[in-house]
A = this chain, B = another copy of it.
Amino acid sequence: MTVTLADVAARAQVSPATVSRVLNGNYPVAAATRERVLRAVDELDYVLNGPASALAAATSDLVGILVNDIADPFFGIMASAIQGEIGGPGGRAGGERLAVVCNTGGSPERELTYLTLLQRQRAAAVVLTGGAVEDAPHAAAVAAKLRKLADAGTRVVLCGRPPAPDTGAVALTFDNRGGARALTAHLLGLGHRRLGYIAGPVERTTTRHRLEGHRAALAAAGVEEDPRWTVYGRYDRRSGYEATLELLRRDPSLTAIVAANDSVALGACAALRESGLRIPEDVSVAGFDDLPFSIDAVPSLTTVRLPLAEAGARAGRVAMGREEPPPGGITSVRGELMVRGSTGVPRVS
């Protein structure tokens, strides 16, 4: 029923080995022979059997991309950039690779399961994006898995994720701490002294680093922080909305709200508006990431631009071995402070 290499070989009157070599192009085949084979392939409408190739060659053309939430543009943009570089159709690279996008939903177990599944597929490379979960046993389990993958020849790249020592994984980390610090410093420079902070999920590295940067800026300015000013939530607008109402309840005198990311900031804006507060006259709002919609917020959002696409592209190239990994296998990607309309001088109180 299905046509195989042997069928093509028969039709082209060559051996299966020759057909394989024509298709893989890694062995000299006389032009005339190649021609004949290609014609046979075409006439029979032959499609290589991927699993069989993978088995025989002990490699596959699958590249895994782990994301927390593919519906979130933060991950979508990175995934898109990674995919653009791994040499799928249209990519500049020769081989045609397929991107397997795995939605972990931020769950450690799923992350591990997906890693195993990718190991099972003998993935050519795996890129893990976004913050990691800070649970020690889980981190160890992931590290062990990554080591195993690396040992099996799978290239492992971390994109926007802290390094995983001794795993052989290359890390392209975002400087969340530095970005957050610059952002809060900007607010402090405007004169704000009572700043609410809406953090992400508690056990996430991204959450911690951004919060640390925020606090470092406060400390550097000698501003003492009230514990009531920090609320933890999720990385979505709903969370920002709710957290903002909570912050307002705890301390109505806040003059600025720093959000874990842009979606959260948008939720914060909505809550503020509904509470009858103007942005930035009554309360300034700042986000993080600079996703495409942030500039369209009204007022447009002051935030920290993370070069998501660039980082993803680089991660993709490194994963494909088309770009040298950074020295030491680790590099930090800086964000850029984007000052826009959502932040201003605090109201006089």
Q: A residues near B, CB below 8 A?
A: 2, 45, 47-55, 60, 62, 69-73, 75-77, 79-80, 83-84, 88-90, 96, 98-103, 105, 107, 109-110, 113-114, 116-122, 148, 152, 237, 263, 266-267, 269-270, 273, 292-293, 295-298
Q: Which residues of B contact A102 (CB under 8 A)?
A: 88, 98-99
In the complex the two chains form, is A122's CB within 8 Å of B51's CB?
yes
Chain B residue with the shortest CB-CB distance to A79: B70
Q: Is the interface of A mostly helix, strand, loop or mixed?
A: helix
Cα–Cα distance between A267 and B79 once the two chains are bound (Å): 24
- A51-B55, A71-B79, A80-B103 are known contacts; what are 17 more A-B pairs with Cβ within 8 Å? A49-B120, A49-B122, A50-B51, A50-B120, A51-B51, A51-B53, A62-B100, A84-B103, A88-B110, A89-B110, A96-B113, A98-B114, A99-B100, A263-B292, A270-B295, A273-B298, A297-B297
Bound complex: CA A53 to CA B89 (Å): 26
Inter-subunit contact A116/B270 (CB<8 Å): no
28 pairs from A and B in contact (CB 8 Å cutoff): A2-B152, A47-B116, A49-B120, A50-B120, A50-B121, A50-B122, A51-B54, A51-B55, A55-B55, A70-B83, A71-B73, A71-B77, A71-B80, A73-B73, A75-B76, A79-B101, A83-B103, A88-B113, A88-B117, A89-B113, A90-B110, A98-B100, A98-B114, A237-B292, A237-B293, A269-B296, A293-B293, A298-B298
Point out the residues of chain B lying under 8 angstroms from A119, CB to CB: 47
Q: Is the CB of B49 within 8 A of A52?
A: no
